[in-house]
C-alpha cells in the first residue's frame, strides 16, 4: 500500500535478541515517523512558497485588523487622505502620500508600517496597535501583501446582492441527472448512478477508475466503515465463499442492522456537537448524566431516525409534547457547552454560553461560519450581523434544567406515590435533619450570593414568576455555584453537628428498603416559563430587539413560522421547533447538502466539499457538484434516511475501488489530492478503531452497549470511555481523538513519534498483545495454526507464504507443517505486538 511501512524489515530481524529486537523496531518506526514528518514539513514549506499560506495569514491576521481598525475611515463610504483599504486594487493604489506596498519584500521606509509604529502618521488614531499586530503586518508586507483574488471587504450595511443569492450552496436543487457515458467505457465501472458522475468527470480528464478491490479487502473496509470494528475470521471466510449475486448487498444490510453501527456512526456526530463529559475550564468537573445524550445519538442512528426528526429532537425535543423521555434527553445537545462553576461575571459567562451555542448551531446544521458575523457583517459570506443574532434569538429563552428525570409520566406517578409513603414513615427523622442543616444552608446561601454583583443578586432574590428569561438564567448560575463550590454547605459543619448528622443518617438508613429507587437524572433544556428577554446587537445603543429569523440570503425559503406549539402543557416560545423545521425542510438546499456531504466525507475521508463546516465562499468548491445535488435529492426523497444513503454509496463501484491503480504515478501529477476519486483512499484507523480492534483481537472486548462511561482500562468500546476536556493525555488522544472544546468536522491526521512510542512502549498496546497471545494459545492446536490465527485476528486475512515463513523465523520455529516446536507465550506476545504495529493493522485500504 502506498505510503505505508512494510512488515518485512521487522521480520528480517528475527535472529536478534528480543530486547534488541524491540529497540530496533521502535527505532525503525520512529525513523519512519520522523521521515514522514520531514516530508510533511517539506510539503508545508512548498505551500508557504506559494500563495495559499500567505492568503491564510491574510484572512486570519490581517483582514480582521483592517476591518476593526481601518475600514471606518478608509472604506467604501469614506477615504481619508484619498486612501482606501477595502480591496487589493485600492490598497496597491495607495493614497495622497503614495503607495503602501513599496518594493516587493522590502519593508524599509514602508508608509503603512511607519504609520502603525507612530513614526510618521499615527494610525489608527485611537491608539497604536499591539506589537504583535504590527509584526503581522510586517510579515504580510514582506510576503508581497497577498490578498484573495477578486474579493473586497464587505461594508456594514448587511445588503444582500443578486450575486450573493447565486452562490451554489444556496441554490435550489437543479434536478441533476446521471450523465450518459461513452459506449467505449461500457458498464465496467458502473454499479449505480453515483459511478456515472464519477466516471464522466474522470473521462473528461482522460483518466479512468481502478479495478474493484479483493473481497477480503472490501469486507474489512466495510466493517470498519459501518461498525468501526474488524470482521471475525469466520465472517471473512463466509463472505469470500459466498458467490451469490446479492452477497454484497446482503452483507451491507446485515451490518446496517447491527447495533454496533450506531455505536460507530454516533462518534462523528459527537465530534460535530463537541460532546465531552466534563465542564472544561480549570476545574473540568465531570458531568455524570450527560452520557444519556451519547446513548440517544447511538440509538437514533440504529433506529435510522429521519434527519429532520433527529434535528428536531435535539433542538426542541421538549416542545414535541409526547410522553417520551428520549425527547428530553436529546436536548442534551443544548447542554454540551463549556461551563465555569466559579465565574462571578454571570452576565458575561451566560453571554459566552449563548454565543457558543449559536456558533455550533451554525457550524453543525448550516455549514457556515456564523461566528464571523458576531461582531460585524461577515466579510466574505452574505451573512449580516443581524443574521447572527436572529439565529441566537431562537435560543435566547433557554433554561438549563437539572431537575428533570428521564421517565414517563406513569413512572413518575409510581415513584411519587412510593416516595410519599417513605416520607411519611421517616418524617420525624427528616425533620430533625432539616433543622440541623438549615443554618449551614442559610450561611452558605448568603456567602454564595454575596460574591456576585448586586444586579445578579437581585435576579436571584426575585420570585421566579416575576423574572424574565435572562434573570432566570442569572439566578441559575448563582444556584449552580451554591451546589458546586467549596464542597457544599455542610463542609463547615461543627464536629458535634457532624456526629449528630451521621447518627440521624444511620437511623434513616433503617428505612432504606422503603425508599424508592431514584428516577434517572439527565441534563436537559427547556424554554423559560415566563417572559422571554430580547436579543439585541451588543453595539446597538438603542438595544433594538432582534426577532428569531433565518438567513437573509435564503429569504425565498419560507418555513418554520415562529409560534407556540398548541399541544404543550407548559408555556414555550416554539422558537426552536421553528428553527428545527426550517433546518429539516426538504426544500432547504443548504442544510440538506451539508448533512449529505458529511456522510460522504465519513465514507471517503473527504467530502465532495472538502470543508464540510464551511460551504461559504471561503470554503472549497464541490469537486462533483452535480453528484452532490443528485445525492442530496435522493436523500430527501428517501425521507432523510441515513441507512439508505449509506447503501447508495457502499453499493457504488466508486466506493468499492481498490487502493491501487496502475496509472497512479501519472494520475497523481494531474490530481495530487486525488479529488477525482480514481482509486479508494488508504486511511489510518481512528483512535477508537485502533483501540477497539486490539481488544477484538485479544478477545477482551466487552460488547455491552450504553450506560455510564467507564475508565480507559475498561474493555468496553472506546465510545464509552470517559472523555474529559482538559485531561487528554491518554492513548486515544495520542491518535487525534477530539477534546470536545469545539465543533470538529474533520479530525487532525497527525503522524508523530509519540504515536509510535504509544504502540511500541505503551502499556495499552503491550497489554493487548499479551492477552492476544494467551487467547491464541488456547484456540490453536499447533504452532503453525497459532501463527495463522494471529494473522487472521490482527490483519483479518490469512498470511501469504512469505509472511508465514518470516513469522516462523521470527519465532525461531522449524519450517513446515510438521514442526512440533512449542510456542513460548512471551515470544508469541512479542509477535502479536509486531502485528499491531504494522501498517496492515493500523490502516484500511
pLDDT digits (tens, 9 = 90+) for 255-289: 999 999 999 999 999 999 999 999 988 889 999 99
pLDDT of residue 52: 54
pLDDT of residue 96: 79
Per-residue pLDDT band at 563 (split at 50, 70, 90): low
pLDDT beyond 70 at 424 = yes
The beta-strand segments (E) located in 389-448 are 398-401
Sign of the dihedral defined by the CA atoms of residues 579, 584, 585, 589, in that order: positive
> In terms of pLDDT, which residue wins out, 234 or 131?
234
pLDDT beyond 80 at 530 = yes
Q: Enter the C-alpha cell of residue 546.
A: 432582534
Q: Which residues contact residue 811 at a Cβ distance below 8 angstroms, ignoring those fewer than 6 apart? A: 14, 783, 787, 823, 827, 828, 831
Give the distance from CA 458 to its chain's centroid. Answer: 39
Helix (H) or strand (E) holding 392: helix 385-395
- The mean pLDDT value for 602-622 works out to 94
Sign of the dihedral defined by the CA atoms of residues 508, 509, 515, 520, in that order: positive
Contact 123, 116 (CB under 8 A): yes
Least confident of 389-393, 603-607, 750-754: 750-754
Per-residue pLDDT band at 59 (split at 50, 70, 90): low
| DSSP conformational letter for 716 | B
pLDDT beyond 50 at 45 = no
Per-residue pLDDT band at 153 (split at 50, 70, 90): low
The string of DSSP codes covering 92-109 is HH-BTTB-SS-STT--TT
Q: Enter the C-alpha cell of residue 674.
A: 486525488
Per-residue pLDDT band at 570 (split at 50, 70, 90): low
Select, from the ranges 29-43, 174-188, 640-654, the one with the highest average predicted confidence (pLDDT): 640-654
Least confident of 144-148, 190-194, 477-481, 715-719: 144-148
pLDDT digits (tens, 9 = 90+) for 237-252: 999 999 999 999 999 9
Contact 293, 520 (CB under 8 A): no
- The mean pLDDT value for 376-387 works out to 89
Q: Enter the C-alpha cell of residue 162.
A: 443578486
Per-residue pLDDT band at 105 (split at 50, 70, 90): low
* 3 state SS of 844: strand
Per-residue pLDDT band at 20 (split at 50, 70, 90): very low
Contact 763, 742 (CB under 8 A): no
Q: Enter the C-alpha cell of residue 786.
A: 497459532
pLDDT beyond 70 at 446 = yes
Exposed/middle/buried for residue 810 (C-beta within 10 Å: 0-12, 13-18, 19+): buried
Measure the CA–CA gap between 388 and 377, rounded to whole angstroms. Answer: 9
Measure the CA–CA gap between 825 and 248, rounded to whole angstroms. Answer: 39
pLDDT beyond 70 at 17 = no
Identify the CA nearest to 768 among candidates 683, 682, 841, 685. Answer: 841
pLDDT digits (tens, 9 = 90+) for 330-349: 999 999 999 998 889 999 99
pLDDT beyond 50 at 10 = no
> In terms of pLDDT, which residue wins out, 26 or 486?
486
pLDDT beyond 90 at 380 = no
- The mean of the pLDDT values for the chain is 87
The C-alpha cell 448587511 sits at: 158
pLDDT of residue 157: 57
Measure the CA–CA gap between 827 and 831, rounded to whole angstroms. Answer: 6
The C-alpha cell 467507564 sits at: 710
User: What percentage of the chain carries pLDDT values higher than 70?
Assistant: 87
Contact 468, 530 (CB under 8 A): yes
Measure the CA–CA gap between 242 and 108, rounded to whole angstroms. Answer: 74
- The mean pLDDT value for 539-558 works out to 85
Other residues' Cβ atoms within 10 Å of the Cβ of residue 605: 17
Q: Which residues contact residue 583 at a Cβ distance below 8 angstroms, ignoring those fewer than 6 apart? A: 308, 311, 315, 365, 366, 591
CA angle 490, 493, 497 (to 5 degrees): 115
pLDDT digits (tens, 9 = 90+) for 810-836: 888 765 554 566 788 899 999 999 999
- The mean pLDDT value for 213-232 works out to 97
User: What percentage of the chain carries pLDDT values higher than 90?
Assistant: 64
Measure the CA–CA gap between 62 and 385, rounded to whole angstroms. Answer: 20
pLDDT beyond 70 at 350 = yes
Measure the CA–CA gap between 352 and 346, rounded to whole angstroms. Answer: 10
pLDDT of residue 821: 67
Sign of the dihedral defined by the CA atoms of residues 154, 155, 157, 163, in that order: negative
pLDDT beyond 50 at 28 = no
Q: Which residues contact residue 408 at a Cβ distance below 8 angstroms, ignoring those fewer than 6 apart? A: 323, 324, 325
The string of DSSP codes covering 218-282 is HHHHHHHHHTSSPPPHHHHHHHHH---TTHHHHHHHHHHTSHHHHHHHHHHHHHHTT--SB--TT
- The mean pLDDT value for 609-619 works out to 93
* 3 state SS of 776: helix
- The mean pLDDT value for 198-222 works out to 95
Measure the CA–CA gap between 166 and 176, rounded to whole angstroms. Answer: 17
Helix (H) or strand (E) holding 382: none
Helix (H) or strand (E) holding 305: none
206 sits in the region (left: phi over 0; alpha: psi -120 to 50; else beta) called left
pLDDT of residue 283: 85
Measure the CA–CA gap between 624 and 156, rounded to whole angstroms. Answer: 34
Q: Which residues contact residue 508 at a Cβ distance below 8 angstroms, ignoring those fewer than 6 apart? A: 426, 429, 430, 433
pLDDT of residue 562: 58
Q: Which residues contact residue 784 at a Cβ distance below 8 angstroms, ignoring those fewer than 6 apart? A: 804, 808, 817, 819
Helix (H) or strand (E) holding 557: none
Exposed/middle/buried for residue 581 (C-beta within 10 Å: 0-12, 13-18, 19+): buried
pLDDT of residue 693: 97
pLDDT of residue 649: 98
Contact 709, 758 (CB under 8 A): no
pLDDT digits (tens, 9 = 90+) for 628-687: 999 999 999 999 999 999 999 999 999 999 999 999 999 999 999 999 999 999 999 999
Contact 186, 662 (CB under 8 A): no
Contact 516, 422 (CB under 8 A): yes
Measure the CA–CA gap between 116 and 133, rounded to whole angstroms. Answer: 9
pLDDT of residue 2: 39
pLDDT beyond 50 at 14 = no
Amino acid at each position: 500500500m502506498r505510503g505505508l511501512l512494510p512488515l518485512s524489515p521487522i521480520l528480517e530481524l528475527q535472529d536478534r535478541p528480543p530486547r534488541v529486537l524491540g529497540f530496533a523496531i521502535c527505532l525503525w518506526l520512529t525513523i519512519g515517523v520522523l521521515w514522514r514528518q520531514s516530508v510533511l514539513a517539506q510539503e508545508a514549506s512548498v505551500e508557504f512558497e506559494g500563495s495559499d499560506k500567505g492568503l491564510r495569514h491574510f484572512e486570519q491576521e490581517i483582514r480582521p485588523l483592517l476591518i476593526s481598525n481601518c475600514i471606518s475611515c478608509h472604506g467604501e463610504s469614506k477615504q481619508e487622505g484619498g486612501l482606501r483599504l477595502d480591496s487589493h486594487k485600492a490598497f496597491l493604489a495607495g493614497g495622497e502620500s503614495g503607495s503602501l506596498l513599496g518594493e516587493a519584500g522590502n519593508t524599509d521606509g514602508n508608509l503603512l508600517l511607519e504609520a502603525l509604529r507612530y513614526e510618521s502618521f499615527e494610525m489608527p488614531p485611537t491608539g497604536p496597535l499591539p506589537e504583535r499586530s504590527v509584526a503581522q503586518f510586517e510579515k504580510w508586507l514582506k510576503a508581497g501583501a497577498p490578498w484573495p483574488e477578486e474579493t473586497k471587504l464587505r461594508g456594514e450595511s448587511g445588503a444582500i446582492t443578486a450575486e450573493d443569492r447565486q452562490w451554489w450552496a444556496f441554490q435550489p436543487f437543479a434536478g441533476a441527472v446521471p450523465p450518459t457515458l461513452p459506449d467505449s467505457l461500457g458498464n465496467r465501472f458502473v454499479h449505480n448512478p453515483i459511478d456515472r458522475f464519477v466516471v464522466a468527470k474522470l473521462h473528461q480528464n482522460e483518466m479512468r477508475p481502478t479495478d474493484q478491490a479483493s473481497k477480503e479487502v472490501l469486507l474489512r473496509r466495510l466493517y470498519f466503515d459501518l461498525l468501526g470494528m474488524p470482521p471475525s475470521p469466520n465472517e471473512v471466510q463466509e463472505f469470500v465463499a459466498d458467490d451469490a449475486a446479492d452477497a454484497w448487498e446482503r452483507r451491507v444490510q446485515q451490518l446496517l442492522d447491527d447495533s454496533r453501527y450506531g455505536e460507530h456512526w454516533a462518534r462523528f456526530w459527537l465530534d460535530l456537537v463537541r460532546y465531552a463529559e466534563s465542564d472544561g475550564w480549570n476545574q473540568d468537573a465531570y458531568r455524570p448524566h450527560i452520557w444519556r445524550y451519547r446513548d440517544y445519538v447511538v440509538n437514533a442512528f440504529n433506529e435510522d431516525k429521519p434527519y429532520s426528526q433527529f434535528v428536531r429532537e435535539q433542538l426542541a425535543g421538549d416542545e414535541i409534547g409526547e410522553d417520551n423521555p428520549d425527547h428530553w434527553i436529546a436536548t442534551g445537545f443544548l447542554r454540551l457547552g463549556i461551563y465555569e462553576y466559579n465565574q462571578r461575571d454571570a452576565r458575561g459567562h451566560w453571554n459566552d454560553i449563548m454565543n457558543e451555542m449559536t456558533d455550533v448551531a451554525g457550524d453543525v446544521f448550516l455549514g457556515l461560519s456564523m461566528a464571523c458575523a458576531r461582531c460585524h457583517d461577515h466579510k466574505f459570506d452574505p451573512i449580516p450581523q443581524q443574521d447572527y443574532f436572529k439565529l441566537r434569538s431562537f435560543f435566547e429563552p433557554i433554561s438549563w434544567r437539572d431537575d428533570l428525570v428521564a421517565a414517563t409520566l406513569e413512572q413518575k406517578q409510581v415513584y411519587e406515590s412510593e416516595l410519599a409513603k417513605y416520607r411519611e414513615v421517616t418524617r420525624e427523622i427528616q425533620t430533625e435533619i432539616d433543622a440541623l442543616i438549615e443554618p449551614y444552608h442559610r450561611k452558605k446561601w448568603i456567602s454564595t450570593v454575596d460574591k456576585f454583583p448586586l444586579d445578579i443578586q437581585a435576579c436571584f432574590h426575585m420570585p421566579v414568576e416575576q423574572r424574565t428569561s435572562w434573570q432566570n438564567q442569572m439566578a441559575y448560575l448563582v444556584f449552580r455555584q451554591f451546589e458546586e463550590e467549596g464542597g457544599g454547605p455542610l463542609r463547615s459543619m461543627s464536629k458535634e453537628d457532624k456526629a449528630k448528622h451521621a447518627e440521624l443518617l444511620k437511623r434513616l438508613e433503617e428505612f432504606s428498603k422503603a425508599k424508592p429507587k431514584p428516577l434517572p437524572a439527565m441534563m436537559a433544556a427547556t424554554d423559560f416559563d415566563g417572559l422571554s428577554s430580547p436579543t439585541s446587537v451588543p453595539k446597538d445603543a438603542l438595544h433594538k430587539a432582534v426577532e428569531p429569523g433565518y438567513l437573509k440570503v435564503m429569504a425565498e425559503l419560507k418555513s418554520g413560522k415562529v409560534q407556540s406549539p398548541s399541544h404543550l402543557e407548559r408555556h414555550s416560545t416554539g422558537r426552536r421547533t421553528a428553527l428545527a423545521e426550517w433546518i429539516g425542510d426538504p426544500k432547504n438546499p443548504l442544510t440538506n447538502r451539508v448533512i449529505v456531504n458529511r456522510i460522504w466525507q465519513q465514507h471517503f475521508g473527504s467530502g465532495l466539499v472538502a470543508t464540510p463546516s464551511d460551504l461559504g465562499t471561503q470554503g472549497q468548491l464541490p469537486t462533483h457538484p452535480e453528484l452532490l445535488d443528485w445525492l442530496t435529492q435522493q436523500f430527501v426523497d428517501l425521507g432523510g434516511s441515513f441507512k439508505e444513503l449509506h447503501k447508495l454509496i457502499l453499493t457504488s463501484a466508486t466506493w468499492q475501488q481498490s487502493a491501487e491503480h496502475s496509472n497512479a504515478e501519472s494520475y497523481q501529477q494531474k490530481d495530487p489530492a486525488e479529488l477525482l476519486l480514481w482509486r479508494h483512499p488508504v486511511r489510518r484507523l481512528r483512535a477508537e478503531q485502533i483501540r477497539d480492534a486490539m481488544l477484538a483481537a485479544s478477545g477482551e472486548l466487552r460488547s455491552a452497549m450504553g450506560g455510564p462511561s467507564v475508565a480507559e482500562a475498561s474493555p468496553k468500546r472506546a465510545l464509552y470511555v470517559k472523555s474529559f476536556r482538559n485531561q487528554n493525555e491518554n492513548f486515544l488522544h495520542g491518535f487525534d481523538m477530539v477534546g470536545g472544546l469545539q465543533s470538529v468536522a474533520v479530525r487532525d491526521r497527525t503522524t508523530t513519534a509519540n504515536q509510535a512510542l504509544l504502540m511500541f512502549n505503551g502499556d495499552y498496546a503491550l497489554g493487548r498483545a499479551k492477552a492476544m497471545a494467551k487467547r491464541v494459545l488456547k484456540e490453536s492446536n499447533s504452532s503453525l495454526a497459532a501463527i495463522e490465527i494471529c494473522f487472521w485476528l490482527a490483519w483479518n486475512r490469512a498470511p501469504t507464504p512469505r509472511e508465514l515463513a518470516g513469522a516462523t523465523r521470527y519465532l525461531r520455529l522449524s519450517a513446515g507443517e510438521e514442526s512440533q516446536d512449542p510456542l513460548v507465550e512471551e515470544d508469541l506476545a512479542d509477535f502479536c505486538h509486531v502485528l499491531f504495529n504494522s501498517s496492515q493493522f493500523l490502516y484500511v485500504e
